[in-house]
Structure 1
């Protein structure tokens, strides 16, 4: 097996950094579009272990990345707790039913009772492990705050003001929901590890919507709770997009690696991290729209900015209309680099 990713997370010396991409399994690949066209809906694809395993493996074959990431969705957690969702074309996820008052939170199941309903995810992991032994498999979950946002808003938002308002109007109920989410996410990640994933990433996509104090109280606190319940030695990555004001608190998390978006300068990251964590990221995804020369230059600039405790990735998921040739140039430039 290509163990580059695991070696970096374990603090071992490597000859080059590993590379994988958030959202590497998706619309940038014609193979994915073909599979997706044959399914009734995105949720149907997520719940089909054979097809979900197929699209998980596609970018490993096509792009030559150093890890696969489980094809699923962060919203399987709210769904298993009692809030169904579906994906609307050109709009994104939509929840027919949302959390509107504190009483709604009492109706949600959580923890092992809820996550036992995610057997299709664990079956997908089994299918992937049966077919793929060349690279590690990354499992993942959304962080409680990001899941909270969707459960309150019912869809994506530019401000998530309804979710943020709820924190102020109902702080006790907000903590109750966050705790239910944290317990559920922890059980979910433990089950993923038991079924064979090699490491896990926690995505807090909407971390940047909260200021430092609120994010510490309603975001980082519950990520800490999740991390504290995972088996000792679990390889963990935390990606809190946009949470630059909370850099110091994030650095104190008991995780192996921190992901960074493109708003951070590498010099800033290095001056604060100082080797305490593996760094993941942080190339602007829009670089991949550039010509070959530009992509190579920007990639090499990134590579030479970090030491051997670096996992190369974008500062966000790869965008759906990114040219495939641009993605391949990025990956191949990293793979030809040596420290």
Structure 2
């Protein structure tokens, strides 16, 4: 039997609001920190299928969430494309050579880097409690391209944005390569057992409207269409963080079945803007969860009421902060599951 989360993604109103949290498998959990101390760096664990499966299931064991999100990273795709990937303590990911001054053609692909990720999905599906939905994911092409071009993250994605104006053909070639491999990568996750997948476009909000159409909507639409052909029954969640007033165009033009909503958007506006009946996911501010103030329960109720007339998955507006106390997560779960309208 499909779980509540999967039923919601398929457009059904369920007996209670299902929930999971972006980045729920990670550093805020003491069991994750203990395993990382034993196993080593982040990338080592992402490619260790046994460890990655254990991490994926840790928040399910502790909190009983309705969905388990694959423990991995959006930069697995550029690593498979041929860039060297490392995670530096306190500095984040580094990709080399950065494509701002290196040719895409100079990279040597290694698609075997996808295999441990597929094995993680297979292991998790075998060990998953009944009714919990296995979620796969990938980074959307624009967000992944920003890292590939600059070699690292940045506050304003200036290297990729400048390339989009200065040499759009070069950026298009990078985006096309990401699209091609992402379709295969997500298809592989689905074949391994992912029941739904999410496209993370964490830097979608940095683009002007015409650039948003080219670098966010168009590539995601190509991925969704290709996946729909291969796996017509698998729901796809789009999450264009920072899309703002462009959210409706993304929802209508990409073909995703459900929309992830970031914390900057008024849920009342969202429910008016999106197609009627489209499932939504979100959108509590992760910093409110971190703070754990008296406003937490009030905001949960506001979100639940705003989305009461459409299928809704409760989630954060972005990833859970690593400093979030466990007690605050328990408070959140109690507020969502105890809500009576």
Q: CA RMSD in A?
A: 1.6
1:189 corresponds, among 179, 186, 189, to: 186
In structure 2, runs of 5+ residues without a counterpart are: none
2:321 corresponds, among 313, 319, 322, to: 319
Please give the alpha-carbon distance, in whole angstroms, between the structure 1 residues aligned to 2:51 and 2:31.
Answer: 11
Partner of 1:331: 333
Tell me if the contact between 2:238 and 2:260 (Cα under 8 Å) persists in the aligned partners. Answer: yes
Tell me if the contact between 1:67 and 1:137 (Cα under 8 Å) persists in the aligned partners. Answer: yes
Deviations 1:105-132 (A, max 9, x none): 123456xxx5443100011111111211
Aligned residues: 335
Larger displacement relative to structure 2 (299-308 or 154-163): 299-308
Please give the alpha-carbon distance, in whole angstroms, between the structure 2 residues aligned to 1:294 and 1:261.
Answer: 18
The two structures have a TM-score, normalised by structure 2, of 0.94
1:274-289 equivalence runs, <5 A: 274-289=275-290
Tell me if the contact between 1:16 and 1:337 (Cα under 8 Å) persists in the aligned partners. Answer: no
Please give the alpha-carbon distance, in whole angstroms, between the structure 1 residues aligned to 2:234 and 2:321.
Answer: 29
The two structures have a TM-score, normalised by structure 1, of 0.95
1:310 corresponds, among 307, 312, 322, to: 312
1:1-339 equivalence runs, <5 A: 3-101=3-101, 104-108=103-107, 114-134=110-130, 135-230=132-227, 231-252=231-252, 253-291=254-292, 293-307=294-308, 308-338=310-340
In structure 1, runs of 5+ residues without a counterpart are: none
Q: How far does residue 205 in structure 1 lie from its aligned partner after superposition? A: 0.4
SS in 2 for 1:137: strand
Higher relative contact order (CA 8 A, sep 6+): 1
SS in 2 for 1:163: helix
Please give the alpha-carbon distance, in whole angstroms, between the structure 2 residues aligned to 1:165 and 1:14.
Answer: 45
Please give the alpha-carbon distance, in whole angstroms, between the structure 2 residues aligned to 1:16 and 1:292.
Answer: 24
